[in-house]
Every structure is written in structure tokens, then in C-alpha cells.
């Protein structure tokens, strides 16, 4: 591995403490029962007041420990929280070898590698929110030796199996009282929800064979984070859902910015998440922007970081204006805080 690559790694794996906060926007709902792909949106009637009056966010759940990696040629974290991205790297000497056909397999999924620096290829795996046991990753790369004329010695298959420990996060409980009609959609609304589940599910099954982004991601809004991923919501005394994304304070009309390069995969008004934009960042990674008041992009567009996707609002099941950000990797929802903490 070259010196440049050596310098690259500490930067890639360095983590900041997550932006924690006290949940102020309280939502959640029937979505879990419906298996709805997008969100969690049912809001107490006082959510607007909470948005306006909430104090500065306070850390919740403590600092996230830095990632520790195992392995030499391949490196993979020894442990991650649940609902997390798992960065996997293959290191090689670019002066004498070229990787081919690298794959990282886990849980029936195969995660794609791409060059991210001199002598470094990277794949992003994922651990689901529901994952409670260690997760096994099977890693494999074929390396071709540059200048080797003997066909028998020109290639070598590098493979390894690693186990990643999964540490459940401490998810706060939230007891909410909501309008029962927001917990129990009408039969007509249920049909609409089922249609939307199919549309969104088909998008998440797309595996665009390019990784569009490179480097760090920026936040989609300047406002503070007001709710964390996975909060356990009890509605009217009954456990109904968990928060499947993170929320940012964003008064109505706030510009929502693309945090990384992506292709606009959906621009649609959905029952739960309201006016929603979904970006396809390639390699099965999607981000979701919900409850917008207006759209500023069209389906199929390629957007660069900083491009205005739309304006924040309170459409769908939201009583107060804010931005709900979701994230999905190969069909698995994960904590979007990782976009800003792991992708560097
Ligand atoms: Zn949310």
C-alpha cells in the first residue's frame, strides 16, 4: 500500500461524535404494521408547538466509539451499532496488482466495491435495525499481478470471512397521544398506502451499478437534528412503531439540499411522508426527504451536492414543519447519521 493510501485510512475511519438530540418532533404510526417502506409519520397535535419552543438539542445515547477494524488485506469493523453502515475495504499495491471481481456477501446480499483512493477499494455493507446477533461477511477479491507473463501465476483469489459484532443502541421510548384516525387509516387510504409501498419498494430494489458519490456528505439543512433513528414510539398506550429516519428542524420553506451526488428516483406526494424526494446514489444507496412543501427537482435528474431538492413543510402525516431524512442500503433501512459520520 502506498504512502498516500496509508494517509487516507486514518481519515476514512475517523469518526466524530454523532449529533444527538432530544426528540422534539414526535411521530410514528401504523407504518410498521403495514411494512411501509418510507416512514413513521403520525404526529401529536402539539408537534407544531414543540418545533417552535424546543430548546437546543441535547446528546442522546452518548458518544459513538470510533470504528476499530479487523483484517489486513480486507478490513472491516470489529463492531458496529445496529442500523449501521459497515465500511469494508480491500487494500492492495497498485504498482504490482489490480483487483478484479471483488464482493462482500452477507445475509444473502452482495455489496459492490469501488476505488476510493490509491490502493484502496471500498464496499458498504449494512446491519439492520432488527439485527441482534453478530453478522458474518464473506469477502473475496481476485488480484491480477501486473507484468506476470506466466498465466498460472498471474492471478490469486484473496478471500476472508469476518464476524462483525452488533451492539444495540439505547433507543429512548416516547409515549404519545395522537388522533386515532392517524393511527388507523381508512380502507381507501390503506389501498393508497399499499400502492405506494409497491412503488417505493421497487425503487429500493434497484441496484444502480455505479457509485455516484465520493468523499464526505453534507447536511441537507442547517437546522439542528431534533429526533434520532429508532426511537420507540407508543401511541395511545400501544407500541406501534419506531422512528425510521432522523429529523431536522426546518421551518416551512427551508431549502432542502442534496448532500451528495445522486439521481432523482422519485418525486411524489405519498400518504405518510407527504411530498417526498428519493435520491439514488448508486450501489443500492438511497436517501429520502419527506414532508416537503414544494419540489425543485424532477424525476431522472442527476443532482450535485448543494442542489435544492425542494422546500421543507409539513405535508403527509406531520403536524409541524421539519425535514425527515431516511436512508436505505440495498433494501435495508439504516441510521442516516451514518451518512455524515461514516462516509468520509
Ligand atoms: Zn422522522
- Measure 25 CA to ligand 1 centroid, in angstroms: 8
Does pLDDT of 147 surpass 60?
yes
Q: How far is CA 238 from the centre of its chain?
A: 27
- Nearest-angstrom CA–CA distance, 160 and 171: 33
| Whether the predicted pLDDT of 1 surpasses 60 | no
- How far apart are the CA of 98 and the centre of ligand 1, in A? 43
- Listed in sequence order, the residues at least 6 apart from 149 whose beta carbon sits closer than 8 Å to its beta carbon are none
Ligand 1 centroid from CA 28, angstroms: 8
- What would the grid cell of residue 96 be? 504490482
| 91-141 pLDDT, tens digit each | 999 999 999 999 999 999 999 999 999 999 999 999 999 888 999 999 999
In this prediction, residues 243-265 reach a mean pLDDT of: 96
What is the structure's pLDDT at 335? 95
Ligand 1 centre to CA of 226 (Å) is 9
Contact by Cβ (8 Å): 39, 273: yes
**What does the alpha-carbon distance between residue 172 and residue 26 come to, in Å, rounded to a whole number?**
12
pLDDT for 15 beyond 90: no
Domains and CATH numbers, the chain: 1-37 (no CATH), 38-61+174-341 (2.70.70.10), 69-167 (2.60.40.1930)
Provide the grid cell at 286.
438511497
Question: Nearest CA to 304 among 343, 340, 264?
Answer: 264
Whole-angstrom CA distances from 183 to 173, 198, 320 are 18, 21, 17
Phi-psi group of 46: left, alpha or beta (phi > 0 → left; psi -120 to 50 → alpha; rest → beta): alpha
Residue 86 CA, distance from chain mean position: 11
192-223 tens-digit pLDDT: 999 999 999 999 999 999 999 988 999 999 99
273/325 Cα distance (integer angstroms): 10
Q: How confident is the model at residue 36 (pLDDT cuts 50, 70, 90)?
A: very low
244 CA to centre of ligand 1 in angstroms? 7
Model pLDDT for residues 288-315, shown as the tens digit of each residue: 999 999 999 999 999 999 999 999 999 8
Phi (first) and psi of residue 153, to 5 degrees: -110, 10
The CA distance from 93 to 86, in Å, is 23
Q: Cell for 202?
A: 421497487
What percentage of the chain exceeds 70 in pLDDT?
78
Question: What pLDDT does residue 78 have?
Answer: 96
Q: pLDDT at position 215, please?
A: 87
End-to-end CA distance of the chain: 19
- Kindly report the average pLDDT of the chain as a whole number: 82
Q: Is residue 287 pLDDT above 90, yes or no?
A: yes
All cell numbers assigned to 82: 445496529
Q: Could you tell me whether strands 74-77 and 135-145 are parallel, antiparallel, or unpaired per DSSP bridges?
A: unpaired
Q: Which residues contact 338 (CB under 8 A, 6 or more apart)?
A: 84, 85, 327
Give me 30's grid cell.
401504523
Q: How far is the CA of 185 from the centre of ligand 1 (A)?
A: 19
Cell 387510504 belongs to 189
* Greater model confidence, 32 or 79: 79
The pLDDT tens digits of the residues spanning 174-196 come to 776 665 666 778 899 999 999 99
Q: List, in sequence order, every beta strand (DSSP E) within 146-224.
A: 155-167, 173-176
Phi, psi angle pair for 27, to nearest 5° = -140, 170
**Residue-wise pLDDT tens digits, 48-104:** 323 322 333 443 444 567 889 999 899 999 999 999 999 999 999 999 999 999 999
pLDDT for position 20: 35
Q: How far is the CA of 150 from the centre of ligand 1 (A)?
A: 58
Tell me what pLDDT residue 22 has: 32
Region for residue 72 given its phi and psi (left: phi exceeds 0; alpha: psi -120 to 50; beta: otherwise): alpha
- Confidence grade of residue 13 (pLDDT, cut at 50, 70, 90): very low
Amino acid at each position: 500500500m502506498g504512502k498516500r493510501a496509508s494517509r487516507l485510512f486514518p481519515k476514512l475511519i475517523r469518526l466524530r461524535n454523532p449529533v444527538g438530540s432530544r426528540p422534539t418532533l414526535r411521530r410514528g404510526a401504523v407504518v410498521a404494521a403495514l411494512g411501509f417502506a418510507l416512514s413513521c409519520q403520525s404526529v401529536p397535535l402539539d408537534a407544531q408547538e414543540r418545533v417552535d419552543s424546543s430548546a437546543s438539542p441535547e446528546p442522546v445515547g452518548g458518544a459513538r466509539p470510533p470504528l476499530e477494524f479487523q483484517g489486513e488485506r480486507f478490513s472491516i469493523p470489529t463492531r458496529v451499532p445496529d442500523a449501521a453502515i459497515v465500511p469494508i475495504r480491500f487494500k492492495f499495491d497498485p504498482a504490482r496488482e489490480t483487483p478484479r471481481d471483488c464482493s462482500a456477501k452477507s445475509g444473502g446480499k452482495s455489496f459492490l466495491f469501488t476505488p476510493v483512493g490509491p490502493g484502496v477499494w471500498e464496499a458498504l455493507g449494512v446491519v439492520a435495525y432488527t439485527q441482534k446477533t453478530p453478522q458474518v461477511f464473506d469477502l473475496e477479491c481476485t488480484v491480477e499481478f501486473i507484468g506476470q507473463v506466466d498465466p498460472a501465476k498471474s492471478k490469486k483469489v484473496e478471500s476472508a470471512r469476518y464476524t462483525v459484532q452488533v451492539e444495540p443502541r439505547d433507543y429512548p421510548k416516547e409515549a404519545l397521544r395522537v388522533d386515532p384516525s392517524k393511527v388507523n387509516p381508512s380502507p381507501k387510504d390503506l389501498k393508497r398506502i399499499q400502492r405506494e409501498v409497491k412503488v417505493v419498494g421497487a425503487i429500493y430494489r434497484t441496484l444502480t451499478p455505479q457509485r455516484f458519490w465520493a468523499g464526505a456528505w453534507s447536511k441537507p439543512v442547517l437546522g439542528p437534528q431534533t429526533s434520532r433513528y429508532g426511537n420507540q414510539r407508543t401511541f395511545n398506550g400501544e407500541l406501534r412503531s419506531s422512528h425510521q429516519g432522523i429529523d431536522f428542524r426546518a421551518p416551512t420553506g427551508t431549502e432542502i439540499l442534496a448532500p451528495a451526488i445522486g439521481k432523482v428516483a422519485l418525486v411524489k406526494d405519498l400518504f405518510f411522508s407527504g411530498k417526498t424526494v428519493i435520491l439514488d446514489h448508486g450501489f443500492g444507496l438511497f436517501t429520502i426527504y419527506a414532508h416537503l412543501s414544494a419540489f425543485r427537482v424532477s424525476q431522472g435528474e442527476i443532482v450535485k451536492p448543494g442542489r435544492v431538492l425542494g422546500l421543507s413543510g409539513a405535508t403527509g402525516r406531520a403536524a409541524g414543519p421539519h425535514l425527515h431524512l431516511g436512508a436505505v442500503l440495498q433494501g435495508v433501512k439504516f441510521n442516516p447519521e451514518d451518512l455524515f459520520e461514516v462516509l468520509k
